[in-house]
């Protein structure tokens, strides 16, 4: 049996640098995965720090999406997702993660990244 018959071989090599769009997506997805882990720990009764979501006086849960320490503007003037419960927060984080994989946040992440980077330039 030849190697070509048992495996699907392609003539592609790994690029030297990662595409910045993919890098920003992966960074957001990593942050979301950390939040999902914190939710699990919160449910187990552990004291956790760094949660993105908060509960107001009426019991409504709000979930901002952050890129680094910056809260993303998801729509014009809208920075948070309203959730009904902690389970809803988890569901919405999964939705945002899926949307990020499909490129829905690429323009927002690019703008945010450029704004952050411009603060470090002299």
Check residue 5 and give its pLDDT: 72
Question: Does any domain span residue 80?
Answer: yes
Going residue by residue through the chain, which has 122 residues, state the pLDDT in tens, using 9 for 90 and above.
566 677 888 888 887 888 889 999 999 999 999 999 999 999 999 999 999 999 999 999 999 999 989 999 999 999 999 999 999 999 999 999 999 999 999 999 999 988 888 888 76
Domain housing 112: 20-118
- DSSP code per residue over 13-49: ---SS--HHHHHHHHHHHHHHHHHHHHHHHHTT----
Q: Distance between CA atoms of 46 and 86, rounded to whole angstroms?
A: 15
pLDDT of residue 122: 61
Verdict on whether the full-model pTM lies above 0.85: no
For the chain, what is the domain count?
A: 1
Establish if 13 belongs to a structural domain: no
Q: Is residue 5 part of a domain?
A: no
- Would 70 be classed as within a structural domain? yes
CA–CA distances in Å: residue 94 to residues 84, 87, 104: 15, 11, 14
Tell me the backbone φ, ψ of residue 5, rounded to 5 degrees: -80, -30
């Amino acid at each position: 049996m030849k190697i070509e018959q048992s495996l699907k071989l392609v003539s592609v090599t790994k690029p030297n640098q990662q595409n910045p769009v993919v890098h920003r997506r992966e960074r957001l997805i990593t942050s979301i995965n950390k939040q999902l882990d914190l939710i699990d720990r919160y449910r187990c009764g552990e004291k956790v720090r760094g949660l993105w979501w908060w509960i107001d006086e009426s019991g409504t849960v709000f979930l901002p999406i952050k890129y680094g320490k910056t809260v993303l503007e998801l729509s014009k003037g809208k920075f948070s997702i309203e959730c009904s419960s902690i389970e809803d927060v988890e569901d919405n984080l999964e939705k945002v993660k899926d949307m990020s994989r499909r490129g829905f946040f690429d323009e927002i992440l690019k703008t945010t990244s450029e704004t952050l980077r411009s603060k470090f330039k002299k």
